[in-house]
Amino acid sequence: MNADWFVPALAPHVPSLASAYRIERRIESRDRVALTFDDGPHAEGTPAVLEELARRGATATFFLVGEQVAQRPALAREIVDAGHEVAVHGYRHTLLLRRRVGALADDLDRAVSVITDATGVVPVLYRPPYGVFSSGALAHVRARGWRPLLWSTWGRDWERRATARSIARRATKGLEAGDVVLLHDSDAYSSDDSWRRTAAAVPSVLDAVAALGLEASSVTHST
C-alpha cells in the first residue's frame, strides 16, 4: 500500500480534500438539511429515534451495519416502512485503511445482501466506518455505482462526555441548507448508552432546523 492509499482518510476533517476526491459532504438543496444516523439498527436506540422523527414528521437516512441488521431484520424493515432511507455502513464496523479491496468487496456484498433481504430496498449510498476511506475503497465503491457520502456537521454523540445539549449544539452550529448532519442511533461501537443522549438531542436538532425555515429529510429526498 503506497501513501496515496491513506490520503482520502483525512477527507472528513479536510473539506478541500473531500472536494479533491469528489466525496460529498453536503447535498444540493436550498430548503432542507439531511439527517443521517450511523451504526444501527439498535434494539432501543433506533425505535427511540424513529419515534422522535415520526412525532415531528421528519425523515432521515440510516447507514446500517450488516451484522446489526442480521440480528434485527424486522427493525431494519421498520425504518423503511416509516418512510426513511437506508444506506450501507458495511457488514462489520471495521476501519478500511488496512483492508484490501477484495476483503472489502466481500464485506459489502454481505452488507447489501442482508440489508436488501430485510428491507426490500437495494441501497446505493455508502459511508465507511469512522468516515475513513482508502483510495482503493473509494474506487471500489464508485465501481459499484454507489454514492459515497460523509457529513458537514456532527454531534460527536459517541463521546462518553456528550450530553443531549452538547450534541444538539455541535450538530446545529452554523447549520444551513444543504448540510448533512451525522448522528448515531446505536451504541454498538461507541460509549455505552450513547443512543439515549442522541435520542434526547433529536428534538432540539429538529427545532434548530425548523427555526431556519428548513426541512429535515433523508439524503435522497422524495416528495
pLDDT for residue 222: 57
- Selected catalytic residue, list 42, 89, 184, 187: 184
> Average pLDDT, stretch 39-63?
98
Pair 152, 25: CB distance under 8 Å: yes
- What is the pLDDT confidence band of residue 2, given thresholds at 50, 70 and 90? confident
Domains of the chain by range and CATH? 15-217 (3.20.20.370)
pLDDT above 70 covers a percentage of the chain that reads: 99
Claim: this prediction has a pTM higher than 0.85 = yes
pLDDT tens per residue across span 105-160: 999 999 999 999 999 999 999 999 999 999 999 999 999 999 999 999 999 999 99
Contacts of 197 (CB under 8 A, 6+ apart): 157, 162, 163, 164, 167
What is the DSSP-derived secondary structure letter of residue 24? B
- Written as nine digits, the cell of 59 is 425523515
- Selected catalytic residue, list 38, 39, 157, 179: 38
38 flagged as catalytic: yes
pLDDT tens per residue across span 202-216: 999 999 999 999 999
42 flagged as catalytic: no
* Maximum C-alpha span of the chain: 49
